[in-house]
Amino acid sequence: MTLLTASSSYFYSMGPEFLLIIAIGIVGFIVQSRLQSVFNKYSKVPFAGGLTGREVAEKMLRDNGITDVRVTHVSGELTDHFNPANKTVNLSDSVYESNSVAAAAVAAHECGHAVQHAVGYAPLKWRSALVPVTSFSSKFAILFIIGGIVLAGVTNNLVLFWIGIGMIAMSALFSIVTLPVEYNASHRALAWLENEQILNSQQQAQAKDALTWAARTYLVAALSAIATLIYYIGFARRD
């Protein structure tokens, strides 16, 4: 049986790996929807300190002795990120000038990444090192997979297909390495917010809730990447 025939029959038989991808996709949709709901809810809750997201970020950077990172504004919603290349904490429309609990949590989380970079946090270094190869893999893996299926149908050679699987494996590895980076940044953010008494106890719990749901999106992404890898390995093994 060629890989082309096997892949066709495997798709129509709805193998367990394919069902796993569907299940994780549904969970991912639920988690993303819940994150959006939680963020919208806490975006309407101001905190007593009255600091904007930008001011929270600047204060956290100062408190951690970081003087070479700028806080900038980017358009969009939930587009906040730390860029180690140009050393900027980039805050979105709903965070930069907002004095909500959600804005404080997100701003502190992104500064958590800046702190990781300053102290040489190992998983962040690993993730940064994987960015170039992951960027390439995410763009071209499916082309190698499709090309591998066609080639295997003609020559029964699986080399190209396995190269595609290897590229998908790199993306999965990136998702796995991202997990400790994101969870640790949230831990640093929450610890700082509590130590500096930026939020009261109720608001602290709300900030933790928001960051917990944000972290779960990365967990679902990692599980989805692993399931996708298993799915394509299942293709190859059914040849």
Instruction: Give the model confidence (pLDDT) of 18-37 as tens digits.
Output: 788 888 889 889 998 988 89
CA pair distance 102, 214, nearest whole angstrom: 11
Residue tagged active-site, from 55, 58, 97, 110: 110
Token pair 């997979």 in the structure block, residue: 145
CA pair distance 190, 203, nearest whole angstrom: 11
Cα angle 164, 172, 163 (rounded to 5 degrees) comes to: 15
Instruction: Report which of 87, 93, 129 is spatially closest to residue 111, judged by C-alpha positions.
Output: 87
- What percent of the chain lies above the pLDDT cut of 90? 62
Give the three-class secondary structure for 81. strand
pLDDT average, residue stretch 189-212 = 92
Give the three-class secondary structure for 111. helix
> Using CA of residue 26, residue 30, residue 36, residue 39, what is the dihedral sign?
negative
Task: Give pLDDT, residue 22.
Answer: 86
The domain segmentation of the chain, as residue ranges, is 3-237
pTM score of the predicted model:
0.85
Task: Give pLDDT, residue 13.
Answer: 47
Length of the chain: 239
Residue 27 neighbours by CB distance under 10 Å: 15
Residue 16's contacts (CB-CB under 8 Å, 6 or more residues apart) are: none
Residue 165's contacts (CB-CB under 8 Å, 6 or more residues apart) are: 145, 229, 232, 233, 236
- What percent of the chain lies above the pLDDT cut of 70? 92
Give the three-class secondary structure for 167. helix
110 tagged catalytic: yes
Identify which of 14-23, 36-45, 64-73 has the greatest average pLDDT: 64-73
Assigned token pair, 31: 């988690």
Report which residue type is found at 228: T
